[in-house]
């Protein structure tokens, strides 16, 4: 369902999300949101842990390749 609301930006650049949107999207105090710009549009999305699960898996593989290097073992005694 598409819902349109008009909100104000404070002098600190802050906005308040209308209660109806927070309730319908289950956004609670302390939740993190992702903000993206697409041309003249801002897109807000609630951050979920699974949003980054693929990135975390990939970064763990890369880190293992970098840190699991026998040549670097010489630095262990220093």
State mean pLDDT over 58-74.
Answer: 70
Which of helix, strand or coil describes residue 9? coil
Q: Give the model's pLDDT for residue 65.
A: 72
Copy the structure tokens of residue 8.
């104000």
Residue 78 lies in a domain: no
Domain containing residue 59 = 1-69
CATH code, 16: 2.10.260.10
| Residue 32 · residue 47 · CB < 8 Å | yes
Dist CA 78 CA 75 (whole Å): 5
Residue 76 lies in a domain: no
Residue 25 lies in a domain: yes
Domain count, the chain: 1
Could you tell me how far CA 71 lies from the centroid of its own chain? 36
pLDDT in tens, 12-47: 999 999 999 999 999 999 998 989 998 999 988 888
């Amino acid at each position: 369902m598409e819902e349109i609301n008009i909100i104000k930006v404070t002098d600190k650049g802050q906005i308040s999300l209308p209660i109806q949107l927070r309730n319908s999207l289950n956004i609670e105090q302390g939740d993190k949101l992702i903000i993206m710009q697409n041309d003249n549009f801002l897109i807000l999305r609630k951050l979920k842990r699974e949003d980054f699960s693929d990135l975390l898996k990939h970064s763990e593989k890369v880190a293992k390749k970098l840190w699991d290097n026998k040549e670097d073992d010489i630095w262990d005694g220093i």
